[in-house]
Chains A and B, each alone.
Chain A
Amino acid sequence: MHGEAIFGRLSGSGSVPARSAGYNQITLNCGMNNIYLTSRMNQAKLRRIPIEVPLKEGTADMSGTLIRTVSPVAARAAPRSAWRPRLGVLTRYASPFFLVLLWQAACSTGLLSTRLVASPAQIVATGWSLTRDGSLQTNLAVSLARAGSGLAIAFVAGVSLALISGLSRLGEDIVDAPLQILRTLPALALVPLFILWFGIGETPKIALVALGSSFPIYLNLHKGIRSIDPKLLEMARTLGLSRARTIRDVILPGALPDLLVGLRFAVGISWLMLVVAEQVNADSGIGHMMMDAEDFLRTDIILVGLVIYGLLGLASDQIVRFLETTLLSWRPSHRIARSA
C-alpha cells in the first residue's frame, strides 16, 4: 500500500475526483498550501485526511494530470480501509447468526415447543429429505414456472401499455386513466373472481401474478418516458433525428432506469401473488406444500417453504441488480460501486 499513486485531474482550485485502491470515492481539494484528501469509505463517515504535501516531482499543472505519491499519513490509512469491509461483513452477520444459535438452543432445551416452530437443525434435515425424495424440486419447479410465466406476461403487457400511453397523447387518454383507477384495487381481492372465471388450474394463478406485477412495470416505465429531459428531446430535434430514432436512442434508454425499478417491484409482487394463489387453491407448488404441512402440524416443512421463498426473493433481486449494473453501466455510481 505504500507509495500508492493517486491519479486525478486538477483544475483550478475545485474538487477533483480521483480513484485509488481501497477508496470508494476520493476527492482532492487543492488549496494554496495544503491538499486535503476526502474519502468516503463504505458509506462510513466522510473523512478528511490532511496530507503533508510530499510532492516528488513536477509542479501542480493547473489543468494537467496529477500523479503524486501519497504521503505516509495517507498510506497508513489505506490498509485500514481495505480491511474494514471484511470486518464489516463479520459484524453484519454476527447478530443474525447469534439469533439462530439462540433459537436452536431454545428448541434443544425444550424452551420452545417444536409444535410451534421447528429448530434450525430440524429445518435443515427436513429440507434435505424433501430434496432427496424429489418433492421439493417438483414443487419449486411448479412455483417457478408460475411466477416466471406470470412475470413474462406482466412485462410484455406493462411495457406495451406504457409505450402506448407514454409515446402518444391519444394513447395516454385511452390507456392511462383506466389503469390508474385499476391500480388502486388490491389485486388479491380478485382471487375469488379469478377462481370463478378460470377455475382452479394454472390459469388463475398465472393471471394473478401477471395482473399484480404489470402495474409497477407500467407505472414506472410510463413515468420514465414522460420525464425524459426535454432539453435532450430538443437536442434530438436540432440534430434532425426522426421520431423512430428519437424513441430508440433518446426516450427508451432514458426510461430504462425507471423500467428496471418497476421490474424490481414487479418481481417482489409476483412472489407475493404466488404465495396467496398457491395457498388458496393448488395441488402443487411451494405454497401448496406448506398448506399441506399445516394439516400435519409439520412446522419444519412450513419453515422450509419460508426459507425457499426467502431465497427466491433474494435471488430474483440479485438478478435485477445485475441487470441494472450491466444495462446502466453509463451511470458513474455503478462504475464506482463495481470497482470498489
Chain B
Amino acid sequence: MNAVAQVTQGAGVPSRDDAAVLVHGLTRRFGDGPAVLDRLDLAIAPGEFVALLGHSGSGKSTLLRTLAGLDPVTEGSVARPREVSVVFQESRLLPWKRVWQNTVLGQDGADRRDRAVAVLEEVGLGHRIDAWPLTLSGGEAQRAALARALVREPAFLMLDEPFAALDALTRLKMQQLVSDLWTRHRCSVLLVTHDVDEALLLADRAVVLERGRIRTDVLIPMDRPRRHADPRFEHLRGVLLESLGVHDG
C-alpha cells in the first residue's frame, strides 16, 4: 500500500463520543459456521457518507441487517439513531398500494398525502404519484423506495446495493439523485456496493469488509461533483481495487 493511502487511512474515523453509528466487537455466525462478522468495529459520524465494499458473501448485508435491527446482536454492541431507513436492492413496494401510499406506509397524520407528494417530487417521481408499483420501471421503483426512506427523515440511511439491478444509464442518474438528496438532508449514510467507482463518486469514506472485519478504511477527500479524470480518483481506485484483491493495469 502506498503513501497517500497510509496518510488517509483511518484519518476520518470519528471518535467514540460523536459517532452517530457505533459498532463495537460485533460477531455474527450462522449456526455452527465460521463467523461472518468477526469482532467488527465501525463508527460513522453524523452526516457522514460511508461506502461499504467487499466481495460477495463477505457479510455486507449481514452487517447492514444487524444495523437495521432485522438481525439480532448476539456478540458485541451496536449503537445507532432511532430513526433509520433502509433501501434494498429490490424496491419492496407493496403492489396493492399506490406509489404515494407506499411512500407514507406506517406514517400517521392528515397531511400524509401532501408529504408523500412532496418527497416523491423531490426524487423526481411527481408524475407517478397515483401509479401502481407494478407499472413502474426499475429506476422509478427505486426512486419510490428512496422516497419512502426519506419521508421518515432518518438520521441514518442504509442502502444495500440499491442500484445493482439497474441499467448503467439509470444507475448514473440514481447516483446523482442520492448525491443531491444527501447534500440536502445530511443524514449519515451507509451505502453497500460492489462498485468502486460508485463509492468514489458518492462517499466521504470507503471501508472494505474482509474476513469479517474492516480491513481497509480510506478517506475520499475530493470536492463534489467528482470526476473520473481526477488523479486522486484514479489513485484511490487503485487502492480500493487492490484491497479487494483486484489488480487493474
A residues with CB within 8 A of B:
9, 11-12, 14, 62-63, 231-232, 234-241, 245, 249-250, 253-254, 256, 328-332, 335
B85 within 8 A of A: yes
Interface residues of B in 46-80 (CB under 8 A from A): 68-70
Structural contact, A245 and B106, CB atoms closer than 8 A: yes
Structural contact, A63 and B169, CB atoms closer than 8 A: yes
A329 to B148 Cα, complex, angstroms: 22
**Cβ of B61 to closest chain A Cβ, rounded Å:** 12
A169 to B94 Cα, complex, angstroms: 24
Interface residues of B in 116-142 (CB under 8 A from A): 132-135, 137, 139
**Residue from B132, B135, B169 within 8 A of A62 (CB atoms):** B169
Structural contact, A254 and B96, CB atoms closer than 8 A: yes
Structural contact, B88 and A231, CB atoms closer than 8 A: yes
Structural contact, B92 and A11, CB atoms closer than 8 A: no
Structural contact, B134 and A330, CB atoms closer than 8 A: yes
Residues of B within 8 A of A62 (CB): 169
Structural contact, B137 and A11, CB atoms closer than 8 A: yes
26 contacts between A and B (CB under 8 A): A9-B137, A11-B137, A11-B139, A11-B167, A14-B167, A231-B88, A231-B90, A231-B92, A234-B92, A235-B92, A236-B106, A238-B69, A238-B85, A239-B105, A239-B106, A240-B106, A241-B105, A249-B94, A249-B105, A253-B96, A254-B96, A256-B96, A330-B96, A330-B133, A330-B134, A331-B95
B44 within 8 A of A: no
Structural contact, A332 and B92, CB atoms closer than 8 A: no
**Residue from A9, A238, A253 within 8 A of B94 (CB atoms):** A253
B176 within 8 A of A: no
A238-B69, A238-B85 are contacts. A232–B92 as well, Cβ < 8 Å? yes
Residues of A within 8 A of B152 (CB): 239
Structural contact, A11 and B86, CB atoms closer than 8 A: no
B residues with CB within 8 A of A:
68-70, 84-86, 88, 90, 92, 94-97, 105-106, 132-135, 137, 139, 148, 152, 167-170, 173
Residues of A within 8 A of B168 (CB): 12
Nearest residue (CB) in A for B107 is A239
A235 to B103 Cα, complex, angstroms: 12
Structural contact, B137 and A237, CB atoms closer than 8 A: no
**Cβ of A311 to closest chain B Cβ, rounded Å:** 33
**Cβ of A332 to closest chain B Cβ, rounded Å:** 5
Structural contact, A331 and B70, CB atoms closer than 8 A: no
Structural contact, B169 and A11, CB atoms closer than 8 A: yes
Residues of A within 8 A of B68 (CB): 238
Residues of A within 8 A of B173 (CB): 63
A11-B169, A12-B169, A249-B105 are contacts. A238–B95 as well, Cβ < 8 Å? no
Residues of B within 8 A of A234 (CB): 70, 92
**Cβ of A257 to closest chain B Cβ, rounded Å:** 9
A330 to B135 Cα, complex, angstroms: 9
**Cβ of B141 to closest chain A Cβ, rounded Å:** 13
Nearest residue (CB) in A for B152 is A239
Residues of A within 8 A of B148 (CB): 239
Nearest residue (CB) in B for A327 is B96
A253 to B92 Cα, complex, angstroms: 15
Residues of B within 8 A of A239 (CB): 105-106, 148, 152
**Residue from A12, A240, A331 within 8 A of B134 (CB atoms):** A331
A11-B137, A237-B70 are contacts. A330–B167 as well, Cβ < 8 Å? no
A231-B88, A330-B96, A332-B132 are contacts. A238–B70 as well, Cβ < 8 Å? yes
Residues of A within 8 A of B94 (CB): 232, 249-250, 253-254
Nearest residue (CB) in A for B132 is A330
Structural contact, A332 and B134, CB atoms closer than 8 A: yes
Nearest residue (CB) in A for B148 is A239
Apart from A12-B167, A331-B95: 17 A-B pairs, beta carbons within 8 A: A11-B167, A11-B169, A231-B90, A235-B88, A238-B85, A239-B152, A241-B105, A245-B106, A249-B94, A250-B94, A253-B94, A254-B96, A256-B96, A328-B96, A330-B95, A330-B133, A331-B134
